[in-house]
Structure 1
Amino acid sequence: MNANELRSKYIEFFKSKNHVEISGQSLIPENDPSVLFTMAGMHPLVPYLLGEKHPSGTRLTDYQKCIRTGDIEEVGDPSHLTCFEMLGNWSLGDYFKKESIAYSYEFLTSPQWLALDPKKISVTVFAGDENAPRDEEAAQIWKDNGMPEDKIAYLPASDNWWAAGPTGPCGPDTEIFYWVGEGLPPVGSNKGTDSSNWMEIWNNVFMQYNRIDEKTLLPLEKKNVDTGMGLERTNCILQGKTSVYLTEVFQPIIKTIEGLSGYTYGTDEEKDKSVRIIADHTRSSVFILGDQRGVTPDRVGAGYVLRRLIRRAVRHGMKLGIEKDFMAEIAATVIENFKGPYPELEANREKVYKELTAEEAKFRLTLKKGEAEFQKLLPNLMKNPKKIISGKVAYNLYETYGYPLELTQELGAENGFTVDVEGFKEAERKHQEASKTVDAGAAKGGLAEQSEVTTKYHTATHLLQQALVNVLGDQVAQKGSNINNERMRFDFTFERPMTKEEIQKVEDIVNEKIKEDLPVTMEVMPLDKAKAEGARALFTNKYGEDVKVYTIGRDAKSDWFSKEVCGGPHVQHTAQIGDFKIQKEQSSSAGVRRIRAVISGGLPLDK
């Protein structure tokens, strides 16, 4: 079974259990400044897990592309990935632990589906603590499904508890592991006794409590189930491979790298690591650039992560002896491999090539600047009798100029210097700790708090987009937005800077619609019907899929100003938004402009 077959079988199985397939969402979370990327399959579903009704019902399934950036420097071993796919299924107030566990076990072990050996499966459940009891219910359900007692490990909240945040929905989870050691697992072996030979493949989260404060948990009236299976890992297990890089997910990419470098993968571990980094980082960069709301390389935020991925791939390409620009060529292989399940990659092919080539060329120029900076530092370095380049100096060359440690070592050696590598690693570790705070808790967490202010900003983006179309024309299309409690950013396609008169006209239109106090209404309908009625749809959802359509206007059918397919949240009427002010209009990337705006005042939201 290959990855495409696994993805299809998963969806097919849950559709046979009355789940509705929904579209995976963008890698760039909308209106959620707490994280840079969609980091888990459940991330786009958080509003519905918190109680909002989903337009497709109470049983859902999908596949979702994800990016995790907290351990970029660890990528290069046989298992770590920056970009990965999650297969998921959800119950929103429908079934609970009994059905969820039974479905998972059936899919994994049934000859009709994955046919994995039950003897090689073990699970973990919540061990209980002062806040909540041991999850005996989940453990008993596992036993009822044939799981031996010695294959059930009871682990603490750090392993088997999920929470949306400091307060709100939370609950225990049960994680499913597969034996990747030699032969069959020994008697009594499970994740609790052997952490190295058991690989996690699935996690079922049971949201059954509402945390009121640090010491108070109350039962939820409607209990939810959120599950996620890692496609690459499960695919690797099904094929009996020792590394995800040996599966067809990565092998065509690696073959392209071999052709460019002349190196044969599998002959030298240090060079193998470089191949894996290039393969993972190029694939990740293609998915980010080719996303529906794709960002471009930048000095901050998600764009900075993208720049790091591209530049790290280029550095390792140089280590393999690739002298020419190469990432666009590898990107072509990635797009061919994944354009089936992710058609947006094909739609954005030229943009992907253009941005990768431009960033690669820019980085090669940066490396020359780094070498020049090193030469400037050399006279002072020569005064050091120990002939040691400090870790701080080496890291500043890396962080400021993108100059790799190994090149600093090479240049240093040519002049009789050694580099304080431990000092470099310490400076790097401190920087990584600072970077990781952006993603803290997001691996299992979810959206930032949807405050009144962010809800107002979100609705204002609808008014802004329509006002831009009215003033600038139909070539305007949203390319992304970012909202927090202090401001909104809105990116849109347009080839030139706006004039002062155009900016003022757009601002006036938005404020006019706010003062008219237009009602904001929502209707659930199939996507094709929404488009037929004139609704804007930023993403390409699956044909026939039910979506939420938000209309701003006196009459949703005949007298409206804005109509968009959107997930929310929204105000009930526009006077709640307040005064709208455009602070800045500037370039975001080639052919994309960015507006920064603020709002103030406004009526309180209806409760």
Structure 2
Amino acid sequence: MQTHEIRKRFLDHFIAAGHTEVPSASLILDDPNLLFVNAGMVPFKPYFLGEQTPPFSRATSVQKCVRTLDIEEVGITTRHNTFFQMAGNFSFGDYFKREAIHFAWDLLTKSVDDGGYGIDPQKLWPTVYLDDDEAFGIWRDEIGVPAERIQRRGMKDNYWSMGVPGPCGPCSEIFYDRGPDYGREGGPEADEDRYIEIWNLVFMQNQRGEGGAKEDYEILGPLPKKNIDTGMGIERVACLLQNVDNVYETDLLKPVIDTAERLTGKTYGAPNSADDDVRFRVIADHARTAVMLIADGVLPSNDGRGYVLRRLLRRIVRSARLLGATGPTMAAFVDKVIETMSPSYPYLAEQADEIRAVAVGEEDAFLKTLSAGSKLFDDAAEATKSRGSSQITGSDAFTLHDTYGFPIDLTLEMAAEAGLSVDQAGFTELMAEQRSRAKADATARKHGHADMSVYRDFLDRGPTEFTGYTELASEAKVLGLVSAGERIQVAHPGDEIEVILDRTPLYAESGGQIADRGVITSADGVKLTVTDVQKVGKSVWRHRVRVDAGEVSEGADVLAQVDQSWRHGATQGHSGTHMVHAALREVLGPGATQAGSLNRPGYLRFDFHSQGPVTDSQRAQIEQIANSAVETNYPVHTFETGLDEAKAMGALALFGENYGDVVRVVEIGGPFSMELCGGTHVGSSAQIGPITILGESSVGSGVRRVEAYVGMDSFTYLSRERALLAGLASSLKVPSEQVPDRVENLVTRLRDAEKQLEKLKAEQARASASGLLDSAVRAGDIRVIGGRVADGLDGGELRSLATDLRARAGADPAVVALFSQTGEKLPFVVATNEAAREKGVRAGDLVKEVAPLVGGRGGGKPDLAQGSGVDAAGVDTALARIVTLAGE
């Protein structure tokens, strides 16, 4: 049975049992505890925590999940995956243990012809919590499982909580016996490799207190309503129904491994190929996870979610290279994942170009990193040998891995080729410290769970009515006041609070458009200045305000007003963003899709997918097309329709965004620009005013950014530029149109003069240094050539001079030490020739020894090292010390 069929049968089973199907939430939720959604119940947490009232009493879903705490362990075993699908059924104060157990058993054991999975009941072993006699009795007396196949287990295994104070309860897990080939008899208590868990039924009936995540916490008492939360692992069931050993051999991941075999020439599962098999599994697992993350809007970066994605993509690249791939592989892996996963997630096929562009862009960047890492490795290897050691330090290996992204397994391989080993114990210790810090951070985040229950009453009332599309002032009623997370009845002048209204014209920040500014007033003298507007649960507007006058209380009648000037500038910025997006796609092609945006009055910032920079001519063309659309004065139409209908019309959706069934379409100029957008816009394109693109830059792998002014801000910017040009023309005494040529001529002349000056400076330095050869001193049989040279030389010039003197010193052992006064700084360079190094004299050691004598520091390689100090009076002492050290 294919995985997509397993998924469909689960949903069909529970829909037939009266459950509402809830589509999978995005892998990214607004939850301070979570980097990614990591369990099927996460989207339902507000209901279980009592923060919101669920709109249904029964629900079912197949939730996308990602767990990345132990990325380095992926592939080493066949049980660990970063991405998985968790099927679940949920009851909110409706049914409880009996129904949950029967629902699960029926689906697992019902025949395939009848819509079930057709699993042999004799293969299934339930477990229950130690004292849960009720669940034990249901399994034994109603389901008919023999008592010897029902095992009681302790809190660690069969008692569930979210790891923080809140709902908890016993659980009953269902295990499948894979047979004696996989381990010893005795049920899950004896061997969880043979008996694998496929379903967990959580009976959420109690409230827990503070304490450890697993066992060390107090049960405070029963919940007001009992709930059910279950989770069935789709991938694990697929292993059983497809009769394969592990998830990597199922229909979703094996095709990716097949692709890797084709690209690398290696074979998965070949004799004596354990290391290669790990790499195949890493590719298959990480490719699927990366595709799902990118599709939900995650982009590679150096922190947070983006860093996790970057690590996954880089592990794919390095695994492919270690398997023997010599060229790019990412596009093939991404395409195969999309092919296998899109039957369950059709949007992957729709976003294929964007997903591929992000992943391939990161591959290209990392291949360059690998090249740079090889140079860094060479430096570490040389330093190791110069110390007389044969082992690269754990610190060097960790720095290569953590700071430069250079994989440890490549470090090990290259070290072996260089006749060196790596202090793996030291590396592992540093990695463990890093993981420990990460886990501590994760634990700390759990205590940062924002208490959103204060907004529950407002969420239960239904959404705030947003009137801002058609009016800038609306009469409203104060539904509630919130201060420091608590409901209050009244606020006084000087207070900064949140105000919840039943209706409002003030736009809440979303879709790249920042919140409106405005005021809330009342007939009895209340004046509240609105500083920000945010959404709660995507439906309730909370106005952050400062009480300037009067006392505002819950239930008051008020007038909410938008700052008209602010709104005018905001609509110009947002509509201008649509113009720039359309122009970008016209010039760069349909692949230049949106990757993020920010617009505020008079300004817009637009991020888009692109594998290379925008040329000057392309930038000019984009600006011209956008302004031509403004001048044409296209009408702006907005309307609501179904998501599928909007896409059929050609409306563009924001990459990674989750939309509802009904969407708002903003159409400017018919086919010129049509996007799904909830923002506020001008009435016609001419109201945007001029658009001036300020610049274009890179903001990440495969993502570029343009910034622009619109309206009066654009006019003001152009006026400043015109005044600047006029001033230059006046100073140069040429017409404005000749300024660029005249400036270019001046720059060329200046560069020529600088080159001539540098040449004279170098000749002067060589002349002053020539005398140093004649005045060299002997330290045993080593010749020391040193002293102060011409002032004003920087480190680079000193290096060039030192290497020249070293070459002129001949084959005899020689050390060159040069100092130069440059303002308040004293740069210095030490160089040694091969004969001196053979006698144990190393430039790096000498620099570290003498740098303090001139009030500085430095370091470098055995052949060439440099530093910088501030005390020129110490030069003679430093030179004497070098002579002493060279002669030892």
Q: Pairwise mapping of residues 275-354 of structure 1 onto structure 2 (< 5 A)?
A: 275-291=280-296, 294-354=297-357
Q: 1:473 aligns with which of 574, 579, 587?
A: 574
CA-CA distance at 1:93 after TM superposition: 0.8
Q: Deviations over 1:429-450 (max 9, x none)?
A: 222222234555999x996543
Q: 1:210 aligns with which of 186, 207, 212?
A: 207
Change (3 A) 1:99 1:447: farther
Determine whether 1:461 maps to 2:562: no
Change (3 A) 1:375 1:53: closer
1:558 counterpart residue number: none
CA-CA distance at 1:282 after TM superposition: 0.9
Change (3 A) 1:346 1:457: farther
- The amino acid across from 1:57 in the alignment is F
CA-CA distance at 1:266 after TM superposition: 2.0
Determine whether 1:539 maps to 2:539: no
Any unmatched runs of 5+ in structure 2? Answer: 211-216, 455-483, 487-497, 501-506, 517-568, 579-592, 606-640, 647-652, 665-676, 680-696, 708-888
Partners of 2:228 and 2:705 lie apart in 1 by 40
Q: Deviations over 1:387-409 (max 9, x none)?
A: 21121211111111122223323
- Across the aligned residues of Structure 1 and Structure 2, the Cα RMSD in angstroms comes to 3.7
CA-CA distance at 1:152 after TM superposition: 1.9
Would you say the 8 A contact 1:41–1:228 is kept in 2? Answer: yes
Change (3 A) 1:216 1:285: closer
- The amino acid across from 1:79 in the alignment is R
Determine whether 1:137 maps to 2:134: yes
Q: What is the percentage of aligned positions where both structures have the same residue?
A: 37
Determine whether 1:17 maps to 2:1: no
Would you say the 8 A contact 1:164–1:446 is kept in 2? Answer: no
Partners of 1:396 and 1:309 lie apart in 2 by 19
Partners of 1:314 and 1:442 lie apart in 2 by 31
Partners of 1:457 and 1:89 lie apart in 2 by 37
Partners of 1:330 and 1:4 lie apart in 2 by 20
2:126 counterpart residue number: 123
Partners of 1:35 and 1:241 lie apart in 2 by 33
Change (3 A) 1:499 1:218: closer
Would you say the 8 A contact 1:23–1:62 is kept in 2? Answer: yes
Secondary structure, aligned partner of 1:401: coil
Would you say the 8 A contact 2:380–2:392 is kept in 1? Answer: no
Determine whether 1:450 maps to 2:452: yes
Change (3 A) 1:171 1:496: closer
Determine whether 1:68 maps to 2:70: no
Would you say the 8 A contact 1:43–1:446 is kept in 2? Answer: no
CA-CA distance at 1:359 after TM superposition: 0.8
Structure number with greater CO (CA < 8 Å, separation at least 6) is 1
Q: 1:391 aligns with which of 394, 407, 424?
A: 394
Q: Deviations over 1:24-55 (max 9, x none)?
A: 110111x2122111101111111112235566
Partners of 1:338 and 1:474 lie apart in 2 by 36
Would you say the 8 A contact 1:493–1:593 is kept in 2? Answer: no
Secondary structure, aligned partner of 2:240: helix
Q: 1:435 aligns with which of 417, 434, 438?
A: 438
- The amino acid across from 2:37 in the alignment is T
Would you say the 8 A contact 1:120–1:185 is kept in 2? Answer: no
Partners of 1:57 and 1:211 lie apart in 2 by 25
Would you say the 8 A contact 1:271–1:320 is kept in 2? Answer: yes
Partners of 2:357 and 2:443 lie apart in 1 by 33
- The amino acid across from 1:167 in the alignment is P
1:32 counterpart residue number: 31
Secondary structure, aligned partner of 2:314: helix
Q: Which moved more, 1:228-237 or 1:342-351?
A: 342-351
Secondary structure, aligned partner of 2:98: helix
Change (3 A) 1:94 1:27: same
Change (3 A) 1:494 1:335: closer
Secondary structure, aligned partner of 2:31: coil
Change (3 A) 1:107 1:183: farther
Secondary structure, aligned partner of 1:162: strand
Partners of 2:343 and 2:382 lie apart in 1 by 56
Partners of 2:108 and 2:448 lie apart in 1 by 27
Change (3 A) 1:446 1:157: farther
Partners of 1:413 and 1:163 lie apart in 2 by 48
Q: 2:248 aligns with which of 240, 245, 250?
A: 245
Total equivalences in the alignment = 508
Q: 1:149 aligns with which of 142, 147, 165?
A: 147
- The amino acid across from 1:73 in the alignment is E
Q: Which moved more, 1:50-59 or 1:171-180?
A: 50-59
Q: 2:177 aligns with which of 164, 179, 184?
A: 179
Partners of 1:377 and 1:384 lie apart in 2 by 11
Q: Which moved more, 1:192-201 or 1:455-464?
A: 455-464
- The amino acid across from 1:207 in the alignment is M
Q: Pairwise mapping of residues 554-565 of structure 1 onto structure 2 (< 5 A)?
A: none
1:190 counterpart residue number: 187
Would you say the 8 A contact 1:469–1:475 is kept in 2? Answer: no
Q: Deviations over 1:333-367 (max 9, x none)?
A: 11111122212212321121111111111111111
Partners of 1:198 and 1:593 lie apart in 2 by 56
1:6 counterpart residue number: 6
- The amino acid across from 2:22 in the alignment is I
CA-CA distance at 1:232 after TM superposition: 0.7
Would you say the 8 A contact 1:254–1:279 is kept in 2? Answer: yes
Q: 1:269 aligns with which of 270, 274, 277?
A: 274
Partners of 2:118 and 2:62 lie apart in 1 by 21
2:385 counterpart residue number: 382
- The amino acid across from 2:276 in the alignment is K
- The amino acid across from 1:470 in the alignment is T
- The amino acid across from 1:354 in the alignment is A
1:106 counterpart residue number: 106
CA-CA distance at 1:502 after TM superposition: 3.4
- The amino acid across from 2:237 in the alignment is T
- The amino acid across from 2:105 in the alignment is Y
Change (3 A) 1:497 1:227: closer
CA-CA distance at 1:499 after TM superposition: 7.7
Q: Deviations over 1:239-282 (max 9, x none)?
A: 22111111111122122112211222221332222111111111
CA-CA distance at 1:302 after TM superposition: 0.6
Change (3 A) 1:450 1:122: same
Partners of 1:231 and 1:457 lie apart in 2 by 44
Query: Larger C-alpha radius of gyration, 1 or 2?
Result: 2
Change (3 A) 1:462 1:105: same
Change (3 A) 1:148 1:261: same
- The amino acid across from 1:329 in the alignment is A
1:226 counterpart residue number: 229
Change (3 A) 1:302 1:101: same
Change (3 A) 1:437 1:276: same
Determine whether 1:236 maps to 2:236: no
Q: Deviations over 1:41-83 (max 9, x none)?
A: 1111111122355665111111111110012111112221111
Determine whether 1:421 maps to 2:469: no
Partners of 1:473 and 1:259 lie apart in 2 by 47
CA-CA distance at 1:539 after TM superposition: 1.7
Change (3 A) 1:475 1:12: farther
CA-CA distance at 1:386 after TM superposition: 3.7
Partners of 1:138 and 1:241 lie apart in 2 by 31
CA-CA distance at 1:375 after TM superposition: 2.8
1:580 counterpart residue number: none
Q: Which moved more, 1:348-357 or 1:210-219?
A: 210-219
Partners of 2:69 and 2:441 lie apart in 1 by 9
